[in-house]
């Protein structure tokens, strides 16, 4: 469903993503992990067609993103890392806006669906407020509603769980599991390794724009000999904290 083939992105002289290849199968939840600045968001933006890769190909649902961008986008829902939303619209208006663009037929069915999602994520009571009044977590939730309302086959979620309350996080986890059971494909990035460990079918760890490990949890464990938890594996592969410097800093 999602294919990245030697994706490369250079920002002037800096290579943010370096010949990254991976694929996400139908109905799979794929977790993209990596330190800050390792290129997760940039990769996602290239898959979505928001950025043009310097080299390589991104294929969504069989469509090459560069040549068939609108067709590719039609099957994707995206929650950005830092949702910047139309502040002068209310949540309800925004969701209707998105639904119109995606040609979700107007009518009571659609309204009920929106209502259901808003209630599920506990933001129903704010739906008539301007988005500029939303808290960070609320903005992310409304952005998830916008991504789900047109029932996309593929979801791309960039640090969706960041700043979401425990109840919301649990709800989201269930929703994602349910969607994947129904055959939806999900690509997500997160820094919460525990979430990744629990809900992802496969995990890719990238560092400095390149894939350094990929596979199911079991495969990753095998790779990082002896390490059990994802956190240990992650730190083993990408480097742990520099204890000497920390001591120096605290001791000064």
Ligand X SMILES: Nc1ncnc2c1ncn2[C@@H]1O[C@H](COP(=O)(O)OP(=O)(O)OP(=O)(O)O)[C@@H](O)[C@H]1O
In the complex, the residues that contact ligand X under the rule CB under 6 A are 11, 14, 16, 34, 36-42, 81
Question: Directed axis angle between helix 136-148 and helix 166-181, to 10°?
Answer: 20
- The helix (H) or strand (E) run that includes residue 214 is strand 210-215
Q: Could you say which of 36, 67, 101, 181 contacts other proteins (CB under 8 A)?
A: 101
Q: Is 87 in the site for other proteins (CB under 8 A)?
A: yes
- In the numeric block, which tokens belong to residue 96? 């209707």
Q: Is 11 in the site for other proteins (CB under 8 A)?
A: yes
Q: Which is nearer to ligand X, 118 or 157 (CB)?
A: 157
Please report how close the Cβ of residue 241 comes to ligand X at its closest, in angstroms: 17
Q: Could you say which of 41, 61, 99, 184 contacts Mg ion (CB under 5 A)?
A: 41
Q: Is 86 in the site for other proteins (CB under 8 A)?
A: yes
Q: Could you say which of 113, 115, 122, 129 contacts other proteins (CB under 8 A)?
A: 129
Q: Which is nearer to ligand X, 95 or 196 (CB)?
A: 196
Among the candidate windows 41-49, 113-121, 122-130, 198-206, which touches Mg ion by CB under 5 A? 41-49
Beta carbons within 10 angstroms of residue 223's beta carbon:
16
Per DSSP, the residues of 28-49 read -EEEEE-STTSSHHHHHHHHTT
* Residue corresponding to tokens 């979700």: 104
Q: Which is nearer to other proteins, 186 or 211 (CB)?
A: 186
Q: Which is nearer to other proteins, 119 or 216 (CB)?
A: 119
Beta strands 202-207; 154-158: pairing state: unpaired
- In the numeric block, which tokens belong to residue 94? 């925004």
Q: Is 50 in the site for other proteins (CB under 8 A)?
A: yes
Per DSSP, the residues of 112-166 read HHHHHHHHHTT-GGGTTSBGGG--HHHHHHHHHHHHHTT--SEEEEESTTTT--H
- The helix (H) or strand (E) run that includes residue 215 is strand 210-215
Q: Which is nearer to ligand X, 82 or 128 (CB)?
A: 82
Kindly write out the interface string for residues 133-152 of this chain, putting x where it contacts other proteins by CB under 8 A and - elsewhere: x---------x--x------
Q: Is 214 in the site for Mg ion (CB under 5 A)?
A: no
Q: How far apart are CA 126 and CA 123, in angstroms?
A: 5
Helix and strand element counts for the chain (H, E): 10, 10
Identify whether the C-beta of residue 131 lies closer than 8 Å to the C-beta of residue 85: yes
- Binding residues (CB under 5 A) for Mg ion: these are 40-41, 81
The residue ranges that bind other proteins (CB under 8 A) are 11-13, 48, 50, 52, 69-71, 73-74, 76, 78, 80, 83-90, 93, 96-98, 100-102, 125-130, 132-133, 143, 146
């Amino acid at each position: 469903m999602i294919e990245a083939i030697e994706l490369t992105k250079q920002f002037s002289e800096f290579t943010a993503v370096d010949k990254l290849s991976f694929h996400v199968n139908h109905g799979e939840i794929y977790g993209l992990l990596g330190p800050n600045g390792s290129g997760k968001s940039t990769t996602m933006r290239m898959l979505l067609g928001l950025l043009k890769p310097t080299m390589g190909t991104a294929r969504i649902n069989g469509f090459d993103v560069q040549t068939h961008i609108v067709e590719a986008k039609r099957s994707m829902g995206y929650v950005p890392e830092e949702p910047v939303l139309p502040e002068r619209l209310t949540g309800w208006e925004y969701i209707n806006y998105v639904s119109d663009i995606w040609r979700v037929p107007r009518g009571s069915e659609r309204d009920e669906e929106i209502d259901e999602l808003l209630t599920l994520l506990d933001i129903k009571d704010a739906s008539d407020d301007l988005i500029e009044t939303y808290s960070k977590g609320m903005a992310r939730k409304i952005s998830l509603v916008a991504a789900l309302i047109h029932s996309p086959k593929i979801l791309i979620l960039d640090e969706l769980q960041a700043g979401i309350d425990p109840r919301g996080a649990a709800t989201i986890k269930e929703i994602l599991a349910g969607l994947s059971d129904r055959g939806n494909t999900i690509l997500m990035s997160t820094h919460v390794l525990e979430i990744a460990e629990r809900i992802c079918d496969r995990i890719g760890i990238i560092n400095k724009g390149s894939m350094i490990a990929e596979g199911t949890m079991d495969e990753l464990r095998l790779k990082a000999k002896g390490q059990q938890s994802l956190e240990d594996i992650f730190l083993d592969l990408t480097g742990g904290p520099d204890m000497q410097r920390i001591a120096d800093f605290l001791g000064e």
